[in-house]
Structure 1
Amino acid sequence: MLLKPRHVGVLIGSLRHGSLSRKLAKALIARAPATLDCHIIEIGDLPLYNQDLDSSPPPAWVSFRTELEACDALLFVTPEYNRPMPGCLKNATDVGSRPEGTSLFDGLPAAVVSVSPYSLGGFGANHALRQSFVYLNLAVMQQPEAYIGNVSDVMNAHGAITKKETDDFLKTFMQAFERWTSTAQTAAEDFDTFLARREQISSEYIQGKAAPLIAISTASDPATFFPPNGNPVVGAEKVNAANTMSAKIFGKGSVGRFEVFQSGSSGGLGFWTGIQHADMVMEGKEERLTMQLRTTEVFRIEQGEWKLVHRHADMGNVK
C-alpha cells in the first residue's frame, strides 16, 4: 500500500524576496523525494507575538497556525543574524507554540539548514534554533548536519546549484530527512494501548455504534477495505460511508473479542492480524449469530494519533 506524501512545511528565516536562504530552500524542495510534499509557509506578515492577543488572534496568526496544523514535518532554512537566528523565525516559533499548552510543534519531525555567504555556514543560527527546539519538543534530525557556507560559490544568482558536491549533499540531506520523517513519527498513545482500545471499539461497532470506529479511521487517502464479500472499497470517504452503513445491521447485546496472532509498530505504521470473534444480535431479529473473521488491519500515525487505513476480513466459521 502506497502512502500519501508527507506534508512538509518549509520556514525561511529571511524575508528578502531574493535571499540566499529562499533560493537554497527552493533548491532543497526541488531535490526532495516524491514521498515529501514540501511547500513554503510564509512568515513575513506575522505580527509580533503578544499574549494580549491570544483571546482574539490576528488573522495572520490564525492562517499560519492552520498551515502548521496540516504539516507532518517541518524544514527550517535560516541565515545567521548577529550569530543567532533571525527575529522573524523566532517570532514564528512563538506564534506557533502559543497559547500555552496548544503548541503545534510538539513531536513533529524537523530538520535545520543554515546558509551563509561566509565560511562558518550559519553555525550559530543553526544551533540557536536547535536549542529552542528542545523546549518545543520538535524531533530534530541530528545527522547529516547542514551548514551551507560560502553559498555564493556553489549557487548562481538564479538559485541554481553550480557544484556537483553541493548538489549531491543536498540530495543526500533530503533523502535522510525523508527517512527521518518516517521513523521519527510518534503517537500520543503507544500502539499496544491503542490496540486494546481498538478491540473495545470493535465491540461497540457490533452493537450498532459506528462513531467510535469512524473516529479512529483515516479521513485521507489512501484507505482500503476488503470485506468478506470480496468487493473492495477504495478511498477514505467510501470506506467510512460503508462502515457507517454496515453498523446499522447490528443490535444491542452483541459482544466481540480479538484473538491476535501477530502485531507490531514501526516508523509511523502499526498492524495486527488474527481472528475477530463476534457473538452478535442482528437489528430487528431475535436469533444470535456467531462469527469468526480472519482479519488484518493496518494503521498509520496522523497528527499524533493512530488511524485505521486498511482492513482485510475473510469469513471464517459462522453459526
Structure 2
Amino acid sequence: MSTYQIGVIVGSLRRDSFNQKLATAIVKLAPAEFSFNQIQIRDLPLYNQDDDENQAASVIRMKTEISKADGLLFVTPEYNRSIPGVLKNALDHGSRPHDQNVWTGKPAGILGVSIGSAGTSMAQQHLRNVLSFLDVAVLRQPEAYIQHRDGLFAEDGTIGERSRPFMQNWMDHYVAWVKQNSSCSDEHF
C-alpha cells in the first residue's frame, strides 16, 4: 500500500509543549496510509540572505525533508498574537533562495493549542497569510482553535475521549485535503 508522507512542523521549542503533545497525539487519528515525520527546526540558524548560496547543513536537511513530503501539518502556539519566531525562521529558510521555495504546492493543515480561550486563532491566521504567499494549499475548514483543558489528552498521551470526535473530524478533513491536493495523488487512486 502506498503511503502519504507528511512533514510535521511544531512551532514550539518548549520541553513540555502542549503543541508537541498535540502533534504526537493527532497523528494517531490518521489512517494507516499516512506516515508522519516531524521536521526539526530548533537547530536552524537565524535566516540571513547572505547565506543563501552556502546554506547550513540543518537548513539543507529541513528543505530536503519538506521536498520529500506529500503534505504538511503545522502545529503551533501563539506568541504575542502571532507565530513564534522559530517557525517564521523555518518558513523563511524554506522559501529561499527566491527560486527554491520548497513549500510551493504542498497541501497543509494548521492546528494549535493554548491555555487561552481563543486557542491559537491569531497565530493561525498569521500563518495562513504567510503560507498563502508561499503558495501552500492550506485546509480552510474545519478550523481548530483548541483551548488546553483537562481531558484534551488521555493519560497515555492520546487525544482524550471528549475531544476525540472533534479532532477525528478535523483529521478526516485533513486526510481528504491532502489526497485531493497532493502532487502524488494520482499514484494513490
Q: Is TM-score (shorter-chain normalized) higher than 0.5? A: yes
Query: Which residue pairs with 2:107 in the alignment?
Result: 109
TM-score (norm 1): 0.56
| Deviation sequence 1:50-83 (CA, Å, 0-9, x none) | 1111111111111111111110000000010000
Give 2:171's aligned amino acid.
M
Q: Does 1:178 align with 2:184?
A: no
SS at match of 2:163: helix
Q: Is the 8 A contact 1:35 1:178 kept in 2?
A: no
Q: Does 1:126 align with 2:127?
A: no
Moved over 4 A (4+): none
Q: 2: distance between equivalents of 1:165 and 1:130? A: 28
Query: Which residue pairs with 1:69 in the alignment?
Result: 67
Query: Which residue pairs with 1:57 in the alignment?
Result: 55
Query: Which residue pairs with 1:167 in the alignment?
Result: 164
| Deviation sequence 1:82-123 (CA, Å, 0-9, x none) | 000000001110011110011001011000002101111111
| Deviation sequence 1:153-176 (CA, Å, 0-9, x none) | 5236763433x2311111221111
Deviation of the 1:31 alpha carbon:
1.2
Kindly name which structure, 1 or 2, has the bigger radius of gyration based on alpha carbons: 1
Q: 1: distance between equivalents of 2:99 and 2:90? A: 16
Unaligned runs of at least 5 residues, structure 2? none
1:262-273 superposed matches below 5 A: 268-269=185-186
The percentage of aligned residue pairs carrying the same residue is 39
Query: Which residue pairs with 1:262 in the alignment?
Result: none
Aligned-CA RMSD value: 1.9
Unaligned runs of at least 5 residues, structure 1? 188-267, 270-299, 302-308, 310-319
Aligned match of 2:43 in 35, 45, 55? 45
Tell which deviates more after alignment, 177-186 or 114-123: 177-186
Q: Is the 8 A contact 1:54 1:99 kept in 2?
A: yes
Paired residues, what number? 189
Query: Which residue pairs with 2:141 in the alignment?
Result: 143
1:223-242 superposed matches below 5 A: none
Higher RCO (C-alpha 8 Å, min separation 6): 2
